[in-house]
Structure 1
Amino acid sequence: MIIGVISDTHRNLYFISELQDIFKNCDKIIHLGDNLSDAEELKEYFKCPILNVRGNCDFTRTVPSERIEIIEGKKVFLTHGHEYDVKWHMNALTYKAREVGADIVLFGHTHSSMAECVDNVWYVNPGSPSLPRDGRKTVAIIEIKNGMVQVSIRGIK
């Protein structure tokens, strides 16, 4: 199972041709909010299922702000991250991960990429491919195979 993860696109999909190359083998794509219409537009380019949550710049109640998905036997917690103050610390998100028994936590909001395994829980922020705050335009790829999780952060030009 290969999962493409993207967040904080903010209605800037100029990189879609490069994304098509990076996400071409994905079985699922997850958009972590900040712009829901971008998640809808991704459906025009990719035939795999696209899951999403709303971010702090998405003003609708029809899409949840967080969700839990079981993917290849792994419990994956999806959130934009703003409700957990991820720009300042990881404490609240770590507590939530423990509360729900997550194996993988996917979040955005900071516009800075990171992938770290702490106490057997993967915390993955794909960064932002359009408005990065760490100087790198990025997305993430997660591969789950034989119960093992591999994460890579991929740059966008």
Structure 2
Amino acid sequence: MRFVVVSDSHGDRDILVQLVAQYQDQPVTMLHCGDSELTTDDPLFNQMTVVQGNMDFNGQFPAQVVVPVANERIFLTHGHLYGVNGDLMRLLLAAQESQANLAFYGHTHQLACEMHEGVLLLNPGSIAQPRGQFRDLKGTYAVVDVTPDQYQIQYYNRRFEPVSQLHFTFKRA
């Protein structure tokens, strides 16, 4: 099972169009962690699940959703309501309360992935306005491959090229 996770596109609709086209013939679930700054009726969102970010001013997207896919449960949120700039404890607790084994979030514009108490917490970074150590990549998104035994995460740049040093594998509990 494969998930394509993007966040913080901040009005850059073209990169989302390209992203959808890149994966259109593959069996993937596409998820956007907020701050698209697009309207809810944008046809792009027929092809991906989207949540409300702090810069999505129309207030029409849900603040968080639980996405069940096969045997996986994904807690999808932007992160600003869970204090992700400070730590990930509130996000982890919300994911656990939702019985999710994956929690995807954005907001910080910095990519991150780590396992806590059997939950994969992942931020794809910002596809449009990256911050932090990897801002020179000009934007990132993540592809998460799930097998019964492990999670494999590969980060990609805006040219849809894998970033070799940003590949991670976690054993499932």
**TM-score normalized with structure 2 length:** 0.76
Cα deviations across residues 117-147 of structure 1 (Å, max 9, x unaligned)? Answer: 2222101101111100121310011122346
Corresponding residue number in structure 2 for 1:154: 156
Structure 2 stretches lacking a partner, 5+ long: 160-173
Is 1:28 aligned to 2:29, yes or no? yes
Runs of 4+ in 1 over 6 A off after TM superposition: none
Tell me the secondary structure at the aligned position of residue 10 of structure 2: coil
Give me the CA root mean square deviation. Answer: 2.4
1:23 Cα deviation after fit: 3.1
Q: Is the 8 A contact 1:112 1:126 kept in 2?
A: yes
**In structure 1, the residue corresponding to 2:143 is in which secondary structure?**
strand
Distance 1:17 1:84, change over 3 A: closer
For residues 54 and 148 of structure 1, do their structure 2 counterparts lie closer, same or farther at Cα, with a shift above 3 Å needed?
Answer: same
Greater CA deviation, 50-59 or 27-36? 27-36
Amino acid at match of 2:47: P
Which of 58, 65, 72 is the equivalent residue of 1:74? 72
Q: 1:150 offset after TM fit, Å? A: 2.2
Q: Equivalences for 1:91-110 in 2 at 5 Å?
A: 91-110=89-108
- Which 10-residue stretch deviates more, 85-94 or 101-110? 85-94
* Matched residue SS, 2:81: helix
Cα displacement string for residues 98-120 of structure 1 (whole angstroms, at most 9, x for unaligned residues): 22222000100000111212222
> Corresponding residue for 2:166?
none
Structure 1 position 5 matched with structure 2 position 5:
yes
With over 3 angstroms needed to count, the CA separation of the structure-2 counterparts of 1:83 and 1:128, relative to structure 1, is: same
Aligned-pair identity (%): 28
Larger mean Cα displacement after TM superposition, 134-143 or 147-156: 147-156
Deviates more, 1:70-79 or 1:88-97: 88-97
Aligned to 1:53: 51
Q: CA separation of 1:13/1:57 partners in 2, compared to 1, >3 Å: closer, same or farther?
A: same
1:26 deviation in Å? Answer: 4.6
Structure-2 separation of matches of 1:29 and 1:131: 20
Q: Secondary structure at the match of 1:97?
A: helix
Retained in 2: the 8 A contact 1:138–1:154?
yes
Secondary structure in structure 2 of the residue aligned to 1:37: coil
In the alignment, which residue of structure 1 is the partner of 2:141?
139
